[in-house]
A and B are shown apart, each in its own frame.
Chain A
Amino acid sequence: MNSPITSSNDPSTADTASTVSITPRLDVRHLSTFFDTDEGLIRSVADVSFSIRPGKTTALVGESGSGKSVTSLTLMRLLSRTAATQVSGQALFTNRAGETLDLLALPEPAMRRIRGNEIAMIFQEPMTSLNPVFTVGEQIAESVRLHMGLDRSAALAHAQRMLELVEIPAAAQRLHEYPHQLSGGMRQRVMIALAMACNPTLLIADEPTTALDVTIQAQILELMRRLQAETGMSILFITHNLGVVAHHADDVAVMYAGRIVESAPVRELFALPRHPYTQGLLACLPAQQRKRELAAGEVGAKRRLYAIRGQVSSPLAPPPGCAFEPRCDHALAACREAMPALESAGPHRSARCILVRETATVPALPVETA
């Protein structure tokens, strides 16, 4: 692994993190998104830092409400622009020409030139993400005409090529069909075609397969992998599905309650999770349960699946110290005092836990409960 994934809290060390560093496609630093509501300040995203390498896939993992979607919307600047939204931090994006821009500081017209062009996004709900009154071809062509300046017929021809690229059969015919004439899986392929139309360098995929059948899921993921290999684009993959992460991501960043709690290359994360939350997540997988049973020699015994005890705290009443502390089996008194900082936990790894900092050894895996 050549380029750094971790980002320390100390800006002075940022550039010297590694000897041979390829500029990341996207380098997010201390991103925060707060919403000022009637009931209080909601810290949806707090101090999030991660980076995405060119041509690689970074997975952003977390449960519902952890802030993953808000992160992606903040990066694309698609949040509704009300006075109640407060965004801070930097999102350093390196475009095709090699320039590095801070997405959060760009004027809106410049950002519009990037959206759908250099950075494309696909969303979770393919059934409702396409405009029902325009044909599929028109919607793709619109993007092409906007960013690549082609005329109508050239744009439609390009749109057809895109439909073929995403393996939609009878593409020439589908070009003139309306979204309601296509199935969910097809529509997601169209969304991908739309996203790829202008050859983006970064694709943000917000839970793109969650709403699809399992068999279609596999096809779509395979498609995305192939497209990445062909075009060399980076992917920011947002999901709560660890199985998908294991098979399709290169780097992983785990989010909890709006913060990154651990980040690592994928194999290292699965082999040796450092943060108690990550350990808990992995322990929940039924496959892990079987492994533990095998190790303990209790094959065939009927055991309960492990679940992390407790629930995520309300965003309006966060715990005083570490957000995960109320649910953590290894919590110390010090955990309640202050939010731990995101610190290095090994080469290209970081974790937000004082136990990782203080002990050289890895905390034990969660204890089984009867």
Chain B
Amino acid sequence: MKIPLTLKKLFRRRIVLAAGICLLVVVLVALLANVITGYDPNETAVRERLSVPTASHLMGTDELGRDLFARIAFGGRYSLTIAALTAFGAIVFGTLFGLLAGFFRRLDAPIMRVVDAMMSLPDILLAIALVAILGPSMLNVVLALVLVYSPRVARVVRASTLVVRELLFVEAARAVGVSTGRILWRHILPNLMSPILVQASFIFAYAILAEAALSFLGVGVPPEIPTWGTMVAGSQQYAHEALWIVLFPGLAIILTALSLQLLGDGVRDLLDPRLKKSL
């Protein structure tokens, strides 16, 4: 009788564990691309083009005979880097403005109006417009996505700041004469770590998906850079002959995004079990 309940608890944690391991595996494969796959992702072999997955080419080859597994592993470096940088930037930027809006009453309305304005455009469209201005490059895609996702973080951080601000120990610190900057940095910020961590995980996942979509549309990174998105974009015309060309990069995206979201969920559960699971 007792077993199902306990199993469920373990199961939840086990899934989070599995997600973490999955992510680790993805990162490792990307880092050690050459070693693991044994092929040069750029080495073309026209005679073997569009070959079905076999023992020698685990995921088959693309239209130029390049080993797909190697391309995906190598491409992972770019996709993951872009997404990670985006998450980092969005957190830093968003936290800064969220803190300011939540802590200083007079800054609250103006900052949040700008946040509202930025969030009144769909993510993809805003990203497209930004990349169009900045020009297509890896850095610009990161910048654009940072701008797209910062408002989200700002909203969450602001909400949490509003709560933490009212807690007694902040009042106590003020009464003792601690400077505002120090209060923000040493007292308020540490209490925001759990929602921030959760957001970081989700934004990482969103960024992977967004970069892929942008690259697919041709408004992301230049097509020479082999991210998972550009791979699909470049090969989609051969999809009817060789679906795996499109299938495997997509699976890589799904695996990474899913692991990240499961991790984010698990972290949220762990750090605040009372929190309602709404997103």
Interface mask (A21-52 → B, CB under 8 Å = 1, otherwise 0): 00000000000000011100000000000000
Cα of A84 to Cα of B6 in the assembled complex, Å: 12
Q: Please, which residues of chain A bring their CB within 8 A of the CB of B176?
A: none
Q: Does A83 contact B (CB under 8 A)?
A: yes
Residues of A within 8 A of B5 (CB): 37-38, 84
Interface size class of A (residues with CB under 8 A): under 10
Q: How many whole Å from B134's CB to the nearest CB in chain A? A: 49
> Cβ of B4 and Cβ of A83 under 8 Å apart?
yes
Interface residues of B in 1-52 (CB under 8 A from A): 1-2, 4-6, 9
Total number of A-B contacts with CB less than 8 angstroms?
Answer: 11
**A38 lies within 8 A of B6 (CB):** yes
Residues of A near B1 (CB, < 8 A) are: 36, 83-84
Cα–Cα, bound, A38→B9 (Å): 10
Interface residues on B, range: under 10
Most buried by A among B2, B6, B9: B2
A83 to B2, CA, bound (A): 9
For the complex, give the distance between the alpha carbons of A83 and B1 in Å. Answer: 7
Kindly list chain A residues whose C-beta atoms are within 8 Å of the C-beta of B4.
83
Report the separation of the CA atoms of residues A37 and B2 in the bound assembly, to the nearest whole angstrom. 7
Determine the distance from Cα of A36 to Cα of B3 in the docked complex, in whole angstroms: 11
Q: Give A37's nearest chain B residue, CB to CB.
A: B5
What's the minimum C-beta distance from A40 to chain B, rounded to whole angstroms?
9
| A38→B10 CA distance, assembly (Å) | 12
Please measure, in the bound complex, the distance between the C-alpha atom of A37 and the C-alpha atom of B9, giving whole angstroms. Answer: 13
Residues of B contacting A83 with CB < 8 Å?
1, 4
CA A254 – CA B79 in complex, angstroms? 69
- Cβ–Cβ < 8 Å partners of A38 in chain B: 2, 5-6, 9
In the bound complex, how far is the Cα of B1 from the Cα of A182, in angstroms?
A: 45
Q: For A84, what are the chain B residues with a Cβ–Cβ distance below 8 Å?
A: 1, 5
- Chain A residue at minimum C-beta to C-beta distance from B6: A38
Q: How many angstroms between the C-alpha atoms of A246 and B9 in the bound complex?
A: 47
Q: How far is the CB of B265 from chain A (nearest CB, A)?
A: 21
Q: Give every chain B residue within 8 A of A37 (Cβ-Cβ).
A: 5
Chain B residues near A36: list those with CB within 8 A.
1-2
Contacts of B9 in A (CB 8 A): 38
Least Cβ–Cβ distance between A32 and chain B, in angstroms = 16
Closest B residue, CB atoms, query A83: B1
Contacting B at CB under 8 A, from A59-97, are: 83-84
Interface string of B107-121 (1 = CB under 8 A from A): 000000000000000
Chain A residue with the shortest CB-CB distance to B5: A38
Q: Complex: how many Å from CA A36 to CA B5?
A: 10
Bound together, the chains give a CA A38 to CA B1 distance in angstroms of 10
Instruction: Give B9's nearest chain A residue, CB to CB.
Output: A38
List chain A residues, Cβ under 8 A from B6: 38
Q: Give Cα distance in the complex from A226 to B6, angstroms.
A: 50
* B1 → A minimal CB distance (Å): 5
Q: List B residues 137-162 near A (Cβ within 8 Å).
A: none
A110 to chain B, nearest CB (A): 27
The list of the 6 closest CB pairs from A to B, nearest first, reads A36-B1, A38-B5, A38-B6, A83-B1, A36-B2, A84-B1
Q: List 11 A-B contacts (CB under 8 A).
A: A36-B1, A36-B2, A37-B5, A38-B2, A38-B5, A38-B6, A38-B9, A83-B1, A83-B4, A84-B1, A84-B5
